[in-house]
Structure 1
Amino acid sequence: MTTQHTAIEWTDRTWNPVTGCTKVSPGCDNCYAATIAHRFAGSKAFPDGFDVTVHEDRVDQPYRWKKPARVFVNSMSDLFHQDVPDLFITHVFDVMEANPQHTFQVLTKRHARMRSFVQRREQLRREYAAKFDDCPTEAMRNSPAAKMARARAARPPANIWLGVSVENQKWADIRIPALLETPAAVRFLSCEPLLGPVDLSRWLRPVPGCGHVAADDGTCTHLDAMTPECHRWADCPARARYEDWHGLDWVIVGGESGPKARAMHPDWARQIRDACDVAGVPFFFKQWGEWGPAPFIVRVCDPDEGWHGTDEELAAAKKDSEARGATHVHTGHSREENGERQYWLHEIGHKPWSLERVGLPAGAAAIRRWGKKRAGRELDGRLHDAFPA
């Protein structure tokens, strides 16, 4: 787990200069990284199990990768965990900037620390660049070093994408505003595991004609940044400076996998997909996870006609229908538990090949436990694999 090519669909490889973490929200409850680390505790990869461990010997690995790649930083940890020193985080960022051939995807649940760290880093760039304006000679003010300093201060590194994990509306409301206050070339969300409905509309792109858009270049001039009436893209021209943009650049959605996986209501994924589609924001559907949609009733025959085949054929048809049909219904109804919403999952009380004329209540979705591989990655019959430009 040091660095490797990976099966994670939205990246090419992982890089783990830090391993280990602690749980901070419901999305952490069934952490895959903790399971792996505990299984291999005491090995070279995880000498301290899932305790937070910095690996100085891994920090320079990107220098040795020849082929450009998307790199998920710390798939087995959180770079902004409180036990990771600022100096070590600085070293990691220096290495990422020194390897512009790669795109580094940094994902965190520690939104506040990422915001303060990156804001301070960008402030130091600006202060350093400003010093050249006070140089006594024009040659020094326009030297290559001065030009480079001003270029670095003008905008965040293009190859470092910063994101936060969002599992439900509560954590969207907490983490996304902090992300949007974090200087970054690309800001993204990982809504995985998606444990409840999330409305992202107020954090998507502004609408020309909303009353806040400058006529000359189409950028939103609203002083309070994103507002609900400014969320659609609608062919707004590309921004000239990253400061003009205050929305999300990419959204990933996925259900939970593993033996204790919680089910994702299909409408939660559709709601985010549709909002991204309206706003022109790239949407990536990673997986259904352990649970996925299934037909509610699979007809083995016309209920008015009955079965005309043999008993053996009927048994085979019922067996096939049961293998393909729903076993549970996700209603989207919730209860409060420890300050978080927990959603109901109901087992269907009859076989999916039943010929009863029954229907699902409004808002309910028929699903079953397929397993991650069988559930697949198609949402409404197609793959969604969009990336930021």
Structure 2
Amino acid sequence: MTNIQWTEQTWNPTTGCDRISDGCLNCYALSMAKRLKGMGQAKYQNDGDPRTSGPGFALTTHLDVLTEPLRWKKPRKVFVNSMSDLFHARVPRKFLAQVFAVMAATPQHTYQILTKRPERAARILTDLCTCGAGHPPGEHFRSSMEWAATSHSPNYVPGLEHGIYHRSRWPLPNVWIGTSIESAAYARRADALSNTPAAIRFISAEPLIGPIPNLDLSDIDWLIIGGESGPGARPLQIDWVEDLLTNAAETATAPFVKQLGSVWARDWTVNGKTVAAHGDTKAGNPDHWPAHLRVREYPQQAAADA
């Protein structure tokens, strides 16, 4: 289980990552990996490059974790790689195909993938044909998924049944793909996400460390908004949240305000009481927010499935 408000379960077939942008400065997963390494957790014994990663946080694939969702009978929303980035450059393409094959074989679950590398996601999942046979986008990757469900294949994932290619639509209807955008400097990630095949496309504006006036939400189904929390948290301007909510309303994008961080740059009044601009407990509790910020919606497909 997990305490992340917008999901129900985490699944980490890979662990570890490397900082690539400003939002990674106070990465919670990097700090957690260091603690887990000290506790002797087997998944966190490989150290990453100290310039971009850290103790226990080298990108590592875990074949033994691939089959976990096959044992979950009750449908659930699953955050894929809360401790990594599935589309990191060092995640092999064949391993990605194995992950997607497991997701295709468990349609009762909804998988939520969040990446800071949507360009690679778009490139791999569209997988434009280069063999000269004129295959449609994604066909080669889907064939790799089928190979992962074929028992005599060296890439076989135990427990998968042959026929995933023919049983599954493309893009997989139970897979949401999102990207993290922390400020205007990274709004371009939304363009790459728009070119990525997914049942639901979403953006996580968390940690929100600057305004994003240039964010194009026209092809985006869901927008998560959150400030930065924990030691060294950078302040959140409430205006940034309000501007994103206006943008979402204009594009019919479902907004989900997750939390407001540890430090915000404007006091407000709720039920006659002033809420000061510091305080972790109030940041995560919508009861202490102005009413117009208490918005936690899911995209239309999720609402229809509920």
- Provide TM-score, normalisation by structure 1: 0.61
CA–CA distance in 1 between the matches of 2:180 and 2:215? Answer: 17
Give the aligned CA root-mean-square deviation in angstroms.
2.7
Pairing partner for 2:279 from 370, 377, 382: 370
Residues 1:68 and 2:68 are matched in the alignment: no
1:131-170 to structure 2, matched below 5 A, reads: 149=166, 152=168, 155-170=170-185
CA contact (8 A) 2:236 2:263 kept: yes
CA contact (8 A) 2:202 2:220 kept: yes
Residue 169 to residue 39, structure 1, CA distance change in 2 (3 Å): same
Deviations, residues 30-89 of structure 1 (Å, cap 9, x unaligned): 000000001121422422211111111000100101111110000000011111111111
What is the CA distance between 1:178 and its match in structure 2?
0.6
What is the CA distance between 1:292 and its match in structure 2?
3.7
Q: What does residue 253 of structure 2 align with?
A: 281
CA–CA distance in 1 between the matches of 2:89 and 2:100? Answer: 17
Residues 1:385 and 2:296 are matched in the alignment: yes
CA–CA distance in 1 between the matches of 2:141 and 2:212? Answer: 39
CA–CA distance in 2 between the matches of 1:254 and 1:98? Answer: 32
Q: 4+ runs of 1 displaced by more than 3 Å?
A: 126-129, 200-203, 292-297
Residue 258 to residue 188, structure 1, CA distance change in 2 (3 Å): same
Q: What does residue 300 of structure 1 align with?
A: none
CA–CA distance in 1 between the matches of 2:268 and 2:80? Answer: 41
Which residue type is aligned with residue 208 of structure 2?
L
Residue 325 to residue 11, structure 1, CA distance change in 2 (3 Å): closer
Structure 1 unmatched runs, 5+: 130-144, 205-246, 298-320, 327-367
What is the CA distance between 1:127 and its match in structure 2?
10
What is the CA distance between 1:377 and its match in structure 2?
4.2
Q: What does residue 133 of structure 2 align with?
A: none
Q: What does residue 350 of structure 1 align with?
A: none
Q: What does residue 258 of structure 1 align with?
A: 230
Q: What does residue 204 of structure 2 align with?
A: 190
Q: What does residue 30 of structure 1 align with?
A: 26
Residue 124 to residue 181, structure 1, CA distance change in 2 (3 Å): closer
CA contact (8 A) 1:200 1:275 kept: no
CA–CA distance in 2 between the matches of 1:253 and 1:34? Answer: 21
CA–CA distance in 2 between the matches of 1:39 and 1:96? Answer: 30
CA contact (8 A) 1:187 1:249 kept: yes
Residue 248 to residue 325, structure 1, CA distance change in 2 (3 Å): closer
What is the CA distance between 1:294 and its match in structure 2?
5.8
Q: What does residue 158 of structure 2 align with?
A: none
Deviations, residues 96-144 of structure 1 (Å, cap 9, x unaligned): 1111100000110112111111111872438999xxxxxxxxxxxxxxx
Residue 273 to residue 126, structure 1, CA distance change in 2 (3 Å): same
CA–CA distance in 2 between the matches of 1:198 and 1:295? Answer: 21
CA–CA distance in 2 between the matches of 1:125 and 1:40? Answer: 39
Residue 257 to residue 295, structure 1, CA distance change in 2 (3 Å): closer
Residues 1:105 and 2:84 are matched in the alignment: no
Structure 2 unmatched runs, 5+: 47-55, 129-135, 144-161, 301-306
Residues 1:11 and 2:7 are matched in the alignment: yes
1:275-354 to structure 2, matched below 5 A, reads: 275-292=247-264, 295=267, 326=276
SS in 2 for 1:162: strand
Which residue type is aligned with residue 181 of structure 2?
V
Residues 1:83 and 2:120 are matched in the alignment: no
Q: What does residue 272 of structure 1 align with?
A: 244
CA contact (8 A) 1:286 1:377 kept: no
Which residue type is aligned with residue 191 of structure 1?
A
CA–CA distance in 2 between the matches of 1:188 and 1:325? Answer: 30
CA–CA distance in 1 between the matches of 2:77 and 2:142? Answer: 30
CA contact (8 A) 1:125 1:152 kept: no
CA–CA distance in 2 between the matches of 1:120 and 1:9? Answer: 33
Q: What does residue 16 of structure 2 align with?
A: 20
Q: What does residue 139 of structure 1 align with?
A: none
- Provide TM-score, normalisation by structure 2: 0.77
Residue 152 to residue 47, structure 1, CA distance change in 2 (3 Å): same
CA contact (8 A) 2:122 2:196 kept: yes
Q: What does residue 39 of structure 1 align with?
A: 35
What is the CA distance between 1:282 and its match in structure 2?
0.5
Which residue type is aligned with residue 31 of structure 1?
C
